[in-house]
């Protein structure tokens, strides 16, 4: 671009021969259009938003959280996705969404995430992603988190048959997730509702086909949607 070396008129208007909108009063060796300035300002605004994003995540309400170490996927049928909120309340600010299921390798798979906490029927989640189930493209990260999702909109694979009365390995067994003929196990269980989590346990209403649901604590949980948990 040709530089224009000229001083402004006394009233600050562009000097003779300089088109309006091409004058930058300050350095006579620089000429910027109005469009240039607009784009520059938009760039500054975008950079400010990006810098502010981590601070927003730091404001997520984590008071009184029960720590969990699980993973699961979104079971929300809403085509807009599952709301991620700033606090474990239905009226808390929405700070993101777990996207709806996507087609992959001839099937449909839900977005998955780590479950790191629980409070009042809500799960604190992070690391939202679409796992690679045969696409060959690798896992696709979606949202880093953390944030809160409603627990009953979450599902997972169960790999231990015992349904216990408390989130502890020595707690009494309420039921076992086995079919009558023994051909099906916990990975075939139906999850009617999910309530909370603690450590490696999740509290849920679970059942085998043809049997009534039992509310209790299950473990051996993962987010794998195609096979049993490791």
Residue 229 lies in a domain: no
Q: Are residues 38 and 83 in the same domain?
A: no
In sequence order, what DSSP letters do the residues of the chain get, joined into one string? ------PPPTTSPPPTT--TT---SS-TT----HHHHHHHHHHHHHHHHHHHHHHHHHTS--TTPEEEEEEEEE----TT-EEEESSSSTTSPEEEEEPPPEEETTEEE--EEEEEEEETTEEEEEEEEE--SSSSS--EEEE---EEEEGGGEE-EE---EEESSSSTTSPEEEE---TTSS--GGG-EEEEEEEEEBTEEEEEEE-TTS--EEEEE-SEE--SSS---
Residue where the block lists tokens 């502010």 = 52
Residue 227 lies in a domain: no
Residues 87, 95, 56, 155, CA torsion sign:
positive
Q: Are residues 209 and 154 in the same domain?
A: yes
Residues 143, 228, 202, 104, CA torsion sign:
positive
> Where is the domain boundary, 31, 58, 85?
58
Residue 14 lies in a domain: yes
pLDDT at site 22: 37
Longest dimension (CA), the chain: 97
Q: What is the mean pLDDT of each run of 10 residues along the chain (230 residues)?
A: 43 44 39 46 41 51 96 96 97 96 90 98 97 88 95 97 97 95 92 98 96 96 87
Closest by Cα among 55, 197, 52 to 114: 197
Q: Partners of 212 in the beta sheet?
A: none
Please state, in angstroms and rounded to a whole number, the distance separating the CA atoms of residues 37 and 19.
15
pLDDT at site 58: 52
Q: Are residues 145 and 186 in the same domain?
A: yes
pLDDT at site 176: 96
The domain tally of the chain equals 2
Residue 228 lies in a domain: no
Q: Are residues 165 and 214 in the same domain?
A: yes
Residue 109 lies in a domain: yes
Phi, psi at 164, each rounded to 5°: -105, 165
Range of the structural domain that residue 103 is part of: 66-222
Residue 185 lies in a domain: yes
Residue 170 lies in a domain: yes
pLDDT at site 25: 39
- Residues whose CB falls within 8 Å of the CB of residue 196, separated by 6 or more in sequence, listed in order: 66, 118, 121, 151, 202, 203
pLDDT at site 124: 98
Q: Are residues 181 and 139 in the same domain?
A: yes
CA distances from 200 to 64, 125, 197, 220 (A): 18, 14, 8, 7
pLDDT at site 156: 97
Residue 193 lies in a domain: yes
pLDDT at site 202: 98
Q: Are residues 15 and 84 in the same domain?
A: no
């Amino acid at each position: 671009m040709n530089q224009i070396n000229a001083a402004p008129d006394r009233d600050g208007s562009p000097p003779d021969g300089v088109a309006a909108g091409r004058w930058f009063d300050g350095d006579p060796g620089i000429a910027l259009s109005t469009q240039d300035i607009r784009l520059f300002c938009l760039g500054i605004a975008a950079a400010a938003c990006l810098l502010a994003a981590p601070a927003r995540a730091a404001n997520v309400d984590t008071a009184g959280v029960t720590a969990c170490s699980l993973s699961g996927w979104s079971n929300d049928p809403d085509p807009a996705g599952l709301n991620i909120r700033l606090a474990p309340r239905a009226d808390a600010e929405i700070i993101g969404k777990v996207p709806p299921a996507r087609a992959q390798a001839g099937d449909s798979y839900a977005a998955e995430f780590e479950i790191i906490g629980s409070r009042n029927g809500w799960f604190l989640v992070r690391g939202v992603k679409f796992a690679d189930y045969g696409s060959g493209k690798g896992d696709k990260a979606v949202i880093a988190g953390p944030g809160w999702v409603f627990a009953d909109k979450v599902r997972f694979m169960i790999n231990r048959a015992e349904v216990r009365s408390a989130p502890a390995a020595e707690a009494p067994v309420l039921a076992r997730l086995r079919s009558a003929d023994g051909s099906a196990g916990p990975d075939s269980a139906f999850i009617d509702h999910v309530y909370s989590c603690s450590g490696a346990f999740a509290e849920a209403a679970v059942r085998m086909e043809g049997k009534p649901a039992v509310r209790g604590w299950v473990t051996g949980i993962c987010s794998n949607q195609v096979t049993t948990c490791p």
